[in-house]
Structure 1
Amino acid sequence: MQDLPTDIAFLLDHGVRRPILETAAAAARESGVDASDVLLARGLVSQDRFYRALAAAVEAPFLADVTLGPQTLFPDAIVARRAVLAHGGTSTPMLVTTPDGRETTALLERGKAPAGYAITTPPILRRAVFGLHAAEIARRAAHTLPDKAPHFSYRDGPHAWQIYGPFVFATALLLGTALVSGTLAVAGMVACLIFVVMAALRGATCLEDVPTSPLRWTPRMPDVALPVYTILVPLLNEAEVVAPLVEALAALDYPLEKLDIKLLVEAHDVSTAAAIEALALPAAFETIVVPRGEPLTKPRALNAALPLARGAFTVVYDAEDRPDPDQLRLAVAAFDREGPDLACLQARLVIHNSQDALIAALFAIEYAALFDVVNPGLLRLGLPIPLGGTSNHFRTSALAAIGGWDAWNVTEDADIGLRLGALGLRIGDLPSATREEAPTRLPVWLRQRARWMKGFLQTLLVHTRAPRRTLAVLGPARTIAVWLLVGGTVLSALLFPLSLAIGLGMVLAAAAALVGAAPEAALLDDLVTHASIATLAPPLPFPVAVLAATTFAVGMAATLVVAEIALRRRKRRDLRPMLALLPVYLVLVSLGAWRGVWDLALRPYHWHKTTHGLAPPERLLPRLRRHAGALRARLGGGRVRGRAPAE
């Protein structure tokens, strides 16, 4: 029988059965870590039991409650796993520690802990440090980036010219329209040109043949060669989904002892904290209670945990995420293959509840277009992209070097994607799926969309503060692409109802002209007359209306083509009938964009929280079948095929 490693063998004297320790020792040899890491990470022995036993074995006091001295630093004390205690007398221990495997071995070989030495558990030490430095941690999480690089943060809001510029432009346009003939026509043609370029850019992404899964077979890396991987999961009012979230993370094909999973909970969110506590999670899972502070945003929570990330790589998941089990292994292989200039990988986000509601089905089409066609295509073209809100895999060193996330931007993912590009760092595509839950209720979806659009506007304002700097870093082509991707997305959403009205007006006018016009020459005159009336010709000249309608048609065609290609790649042909409803969906997107503009003006840092884990409304297809049956019954005088009318 093989001897047990020193850092766990002492547990035999404290009631832990030998088979459990042998299991930990075998797994430790495969993973290349200390046996105690396996034992604790997998929950084979609880942290409280392990450290109490260790304290007894080395004759050191075990502290269930810790009061730290003022010289304790964050994050140094947590990273070093030791801190100086507040002095309470000559017999009080001076130092508290949570020994790792090597330190445990050294203590046990010494036989007795040094004088003034106490032991506690990592969660107790972490809570004590956070309690001592709550205000500092909150300040650092919110202000580190804007203090070091204010030009990359939205904390100080837009510059004066960015506030008054749109009003000056609108006033000049109105005066020009009234005083100078053709002003509106020129403005309309410029707007149409922008939208045509956007449509062309989206169309170009279709030319890149991008798979939804890796084309090449990746050799399975042995566990001993895998690095530690940090997983950050911000949670707010997510008590209902904590258990399935933990189950999904535990199912990842990655050694649990090499996972550094941090569940981030806001200080006031007692229900989510209680749900986590009830699960009695192993040491691979840490609960980070984010101190109270402003702004109350997801990026602030991420920044609070970033200094504690132990992994070479860090990924962000949302509460409802269900990543492919091999996603972390694929990411490690991609980072190793691509080289150190690759700072981030964006996995594919896929909606898994598209059958729950019509809005979820349309959302699934939008996500398929964005993550299976547009974003991978843009990356193949060498352009930076606004990242998705989850499944962003980073080199931890690169993430720390750029100052983490902007706590003042409510679409922190879009911002950090463009910031990486502006700093010369590369983003790559990771063809691995993370399944997400789409909102199934329109008000929830609308609040989420308003936040996204507000964040896009914040990102645009940040990256247009200093156009010369942006041009110097990205170059003209990439700068224009970034402004089009972010600003053009919001502008097209805001103007979509007008474009739709113009397009429909031109179609109706053309139909009226064709029906009532005489042949040949009279047809053109009649078409102009009807179209001029339909498009309100005095404010919008007829040639501009024609150009706008054509631009709208081109844009819709590009949208539909991208969506069709995306559904084919994702093998979701069941969603193809929903493509006919995309214009209606885009009207809703416009409503969200206008609400986002309103929110930006009145409450720029407010975070519209998307609630997850809600029971969906009755599934879409059964509901449609029921309505169709009721309609047939009504049209048939109360009879449904095969059934007599009720008495």
Structure 2
Amino acid sequence: MTGVADLFDVLVARGISKSLMVSALRYAPKEGIAASEYLVRNRLLTEETIYSAFAELCSVPFLPEGSFRVSTVKDQPVHLGSEECGPMLVGVHEGKAVYVLSPSHAGFEEVRDHLQKHPEMRAQVRIASPAAIRLATKVTNSPAADLEHRYPHLSAKKTRTRPRIGWFLTGAFLMLAFLTLPSSVWFWRFMMMMAIACCLTGFARLASTLATWDNPLDYRLPNRLQETAIIWPAYTVLVPLYREANVVIGLVQALQDMDYPTDRLQVLYLIESDDRETLAALRACRSPNHMEILVVPDGSPRTKPRALSYGLAEATGDYVTVYDAEDRPQPDQLKKAAYSFGKLPQNFACLQARLSIDNANDGFLSRHFALEYACLFDQLLPWLFRIGIPFPLGGTSNHFRKRALEQVGGWDRFNVTEDADLGVRLARFGYQLGVMTSSTYEEAPITLRAWLAQRARWYKGWLQTIGVHMRQPQALIEDIGFRNWLALSALFAGSLALIALHPVFFSLLFAYAFGFVEPPAREGGLEQLLLALSITGSAIGYAGAAIAVWKAGDKRHHGPRLADLLTLPIYWFCTGIALYRAVWELFKTPYVWNKTTHGQARTRMAVKLPEAAE
């Protein structure tokens, strides 16, 4: 009892109510447990509060979740300790090997007595909560945390190899040499390249616009009476967060509004170990029992896919989905995904929900971002699915069969657009991707600085994905077939090439239009024909994009205007600048995650509620 009293004295000194301690001492014996355990079981105090107080009582450091890693022998954690005193791991904290101890509540006094008798041990002993021990052990054994070990040829860890750098430098040199030639040599060739790229893109846009009248995976949920007979599968929602304290309240509310049985739902908030503000904000929300906080151990690279790998190791659901901090999914999205998976063959590994920007009226960038998302998620991805082409996933609201996700190695922590990479990797393993009609509403950046940083990260990840999957083209063709290889090449490399050409193209037009540069002579018949073809091809590309933007924007109720169509070239010019930055970052800081600050939107539309089932 003396040990319990001393522990409670530490808690009271920290500001914990003394009456709370008295209640624990009164009711804990009736349940046959220690008073400290009673406080944790009844959610009166957190495990971290109890164990940090015990560490203070023992005069040894306390290690919070994620602050240490586990020493291993042949990939297995080194365990010590007894059942009474709880598990002890040989861990590494700040580069130093230490004994990490998590005693049971009943063993507190025994551990304290032992340390008092052997004070020299305090220099090597650390106290951690059971949750911290479980996390460290679980992550060590996680099959999804080490893609680069299981499938090294599918990881972006080594995209900056010397041969690749050599090829890039050779290409850059040839491009510069090409531009130093007389304009009469390269001008018409460049214009034709641009026209062909625009024309192909325009036809693809038109095809996706005209084809997406229905969704073959639009399984309508049964009515409420029929729904009561359904046994819903276990579902895990992963929510990676970093420096998101200002949006936590809205996020928690949006996830609490999800229409899914809470006894079948697990929500894991993934918090970086140094993000105390977001952790405190989440704890202040007093979330329901099915929502848990998982602290991600410190390490590199600090990326979203790395955090997701830790979350996957703790996921208990049969299905897994990902939401971002600013996301507001339609309430029935989980049920729609689970119901659809139940109707689909087992080789369907992922269903992508549609993402929609809800602050489209915040300015030029957010408006074009909203129209771009409408074209992508409401038109292009459904069209690619319908014609059987694999596609890059969106960074959020993708719903997975957990078994399939683990089989392919989970997320690549070294790829900064883990979604695009994962879509291709699933296809390489023989899985299919689908598209849902349910929507998730997101916030777009409203400043040029934030937009450029985010877009540069996306393009950097696309370049990483190309480097990974095109490093052995023959193997990729064998995995997905020549048709799909050709389509993915056009989708990734072709799109990036067109984006890269936009600033050059518009700069040339501007320079020639205002007389800064004299255009090459075009008296010959060939030059006249090339000029006509380049103008026609560019016009087809622009018209296709304009029609797609208009139709998609109208469907999403963004109210597309003539000004939106006229300013498309300006937006495309900005995407080219972002790509140039991405190329620079790929060689300078390939694994740095450009963090997008959320909660900056001035106006956000209400979430459109799903239609009631008949």
Change over 3 Å in CA distance of 1:558–1:276 after alignment to 2: same
2:340 maps to what in 1? 334
State the distance in 1 between where 2:350 and 2:247 align.
27
Q: Is the 8 A contact 1:260 1:285 kept in 2?
A: yes
1:196 maps to what in 2? 199
Per-residue CA distance 1:336-387 (angstroms, 9 max, x = gap): 1121111001101011111222211111111111111111111111111111
Q: Is the 8 A contact 1:324 1:433 kept in 2?
A: yes
**2:567 partner SS:** helix
State the distance in 2 between where 1:288 and 1:405 align.
17
Unaligned runs of 5+ in 1: 1-48, 78-82, 97-112, 510-529, 620-647
Aligned-residue CA RMSD in angstroms?
Answer: 4.1
Q: Is the 8 A contact 2:352 2:434 kept in 1?
A: yes
Q: Is the 8 A contact 2:270 2:307 kept in 1?
A: yes
Query: Residues 503-582 of structure 1 correspond to what in structure 2 (within 5 A)?
Result: 533-534=518-519, 544=530, 546-573=532-559, 577-582=563-568
State the distance in 2 between where 1:400 and 1:54 align.
41
State the distance in 2 between where 1:473 and 1:248 align.
39
1:324 maps to what in 2? 330
Residue-pair matches, total? 516
1:188 Cα deviation from its structure 2 partner: 6.1
- Corresponding residue to 2:131 among 121, 126, 129: 126
Q: Greater Rg, structure 1 or structure 2?
A: 1
1:203 Cα deviation from its structure 2 partner: 2.5
1:263 Cα deviation from its structure 2 partner: 0.2
Change over 3 Å in CA distance of 1:192–1:249 after alignment to 2: same
2:449 maps to what in 1? 443
State the distance in 1 between where 2:168 and 2:151 align.
26
Change over 3 Å in CA distance of 1:210–1:402 after alignment to 2: farther
Change over 3 Å in CA distance of 1:531–1:239 after alignment to 2: closer
Change over 3 Å in CA distance of 1:550–1:158 after alignment to 2: farther
**1:207 partner SS:** helix
State the distance in 2 between where 1:311 and 1:617 align.
35
1:416 Cα deviation from its structure 2 partner: 0.6
**2:246 partner SS:** helix
1:248 maps to what in 2? 254
Identity %: 36
Change over 3 Å in CA distance of 1:547–1:170 after alignment to 2: farther
1:171 Cα deviation from its structure 2 partner: 4.0
Query: Residues 279-428 of structure 1 correspond to what in structure 2 (within 5 A)?
Result: 279-428=285-434
Change over 3 Å in CA distance of 1:469–1:571 after alignment to 2: same
2:234 maps to what in 1? 228
1:207 maps to what in 2? 210
**2:156 partner SS:** coil
State the distance in 2 between where 1:281 and 1:567 align.
36
State the distance in 2 between where 1:94 and 1:271 align.
30
Per-residue CA distance 1:125-184 (angstroms, 9 max, x = gap): 3223335788x48x9776x111111121110124444322243345456667859x9787
**1:480 partner SS:** helix
Query: Residues 97-246 of structure 1 correspond to what in structure 2 (within 5 A)?
Result: 124-130=129-135, 136=140, 144-172=146-174, 189=192, 192-211=195-214, 217-220=220-223, 221-222=227-228, 225-246=231-252
2:280 maps to what in 1? 274
Q: Is the 8 A contact 1:145 1:153 kept in 2?
A: yes
Amino acid of the structure 1 residue aligned with 2:308: L
Per-residue CA distance 1:75-130 (angstroms, 9 max, x = gap): 999xxxxx98834xxx945689xxxxxxxxxxxxxxxx9x9999xxxx95322333
State the distance in 2 between where 1:168 and 1:95 align.
56
Q: Is the 8 A contact 2:379 2:552 kept in 1?
A: yes
Q: Does 1:585 align with 2:578?
A: no
**1:225 partner SS:** coil
Change over 3 Å in CA distance of 1:605–1:215 after alignment to 2: closer
- Corresponding residue to 2:589 among 592, 597, 603: 603
Q: Is the 8 A contact 1:94 1:116 kept in 2?
A: yes
State the distance in 1 between where 2:208 and 2:384 align.
6
1:57 maps to what in 2? 31
State the distance in 2 between where 1:53 and 1:290 align.
35
State the distance in 1 between where 2:205 and 2:348 align.
24
Amino acid of the structure 1 residue aligned with 2:202: A
1:281 Cα deviation from its structure 2 partner: 1.9
1:582 Cα deviation from its structure 2 partner: 1.3
Q: Is the 8 A contact 1:235 1:263 kept in 2?
A: yes
**1:355 partner SS:** helix
What is the TM-score of this pair, normalised by structure 2? Answer: 0.74
1:200 Cα deviation from its structure 2 partner: 2.5
1:633 maps to what in 2? none
Amino acid of the structure 2 residue aligned with 1:481: A
1:318 Cα deviation from its structure 2 partner: 0.3
State the distance in 2 between where 1:198 and 1:222 align.
47
Query: Residues 625-644 of structure 1 correspond to what in structure 2 (within 5 A)?
Result: none
What is the TM-score of this pair, normalised by structure 1? Answer: 0.71
State the distance in 1 between where 2:271 and 2:348 align.
30
Change over 3 Å in CA distance of 1:61–1:467 after alignment to 2: same
State the distance in 2 between where 1:229 and 1:618 align.
28
Amino acid of the structure 1 residue aligned with 2:158: D
Q: Does 1:478 align with 2:473?
A: no
2:46 maps to what in 1? none
Q: Does 1:487 align with 2:493?
A: yes
